[in-house]
């Protein structure tokens, strides 16, 4: 990781937004919330990372051929379709976008065997999420 969470917050405080948006650190986060829960200053570091990822994505500061870009696009598409993260569709969409079909094949088989990836269970709520997303986009357009 090129920036630690404290360096990332410090860079933001100094107004070094470009440094943060070009950092690989914003893409390393796995959304575990550990940094936020352990921060002695009670800074929502995970929220800052998420905001930086979205801003970097919207301003095209991440190359489309980077694997993380394919994953992030797949994650957003998955949210749009299902309203929340669904592991199997996310995996399938990501594999199709990256065209890396077999690298994690044996891991996928083990997850299926353990019942961790269920082909028959897809989340519901996508329609509600799409309506909410449309309202957010309208409000963003009104403020732009």
Using CA atoms, how far apart are residues 36 and 112, in angstroms rounded to an integer? Answer: 32
Please, which residues have CB within 8 angstroms of residue 24's CB and are 6 or more apart in sequence? 1, 2
Using CA atoms, how far apart are residues 127 and 141, in angstroms rounded to an integer? Answer: 21
Confidence (pTM): 0.61
Q: For the segment 79-117, what is each residue's pLDDT rounded down to a tens digit? A: 888 887 777 788 888 788 778 888 888 988 888 888 877
Q: How many CB atoms lie within 10 A of CB 111?
A: 16
Quick one: what percent of the chain has pLDDT higher than 70?
A: 95
- C-alpha distances (whole Å) from 114 to each of 95, 110, 120, 134 are 21, 6, 14, 37
Confidence tier at 17 by pLDDT (50, 70, 90): very high
Confidence tier at 64 by pLDDT (50, 70, 90): low
> CB of 53 within 8 A of CB of 72?
yes
Instruction: Tell me which of 3 and 116 has the higher pLDDT.
Output: 3
Using CA atoms, how far apart are residues 87 and 75, in angstroms rounded to an integer? Answer: 10
């Amino acid at each position: 990781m090129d920036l630690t969470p404290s360096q990332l917050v410090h860079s933001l405080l100094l107004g070094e937004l470009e440094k943060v948006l070009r950092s690989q650190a914003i893409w390393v986060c796995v959304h575990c919330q550990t940094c936020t829960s352990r921060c002695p200053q009670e800074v929502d570091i995970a929220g800052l990372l998420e905001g930086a990822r979205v801003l970097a994505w919207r301003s095209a500061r991440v190359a489309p051929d980077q694997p993380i870009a394919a994953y992030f696009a797949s994650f957003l598409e998955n949210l749009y379709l299902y309203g929340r993260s669904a592991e199997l569709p996310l995996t399938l969409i990501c594999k199709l976008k990256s065209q890396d079909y077999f690298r994690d094949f044996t891991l996928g088989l083990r997850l299926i065997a353990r019942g961790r990836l269920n082909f028959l269970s897809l989340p519901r709520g996508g329609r509600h999420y799409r309506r909410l997303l449309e309202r957010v986009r309208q409000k963003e357009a009104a403020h732009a």
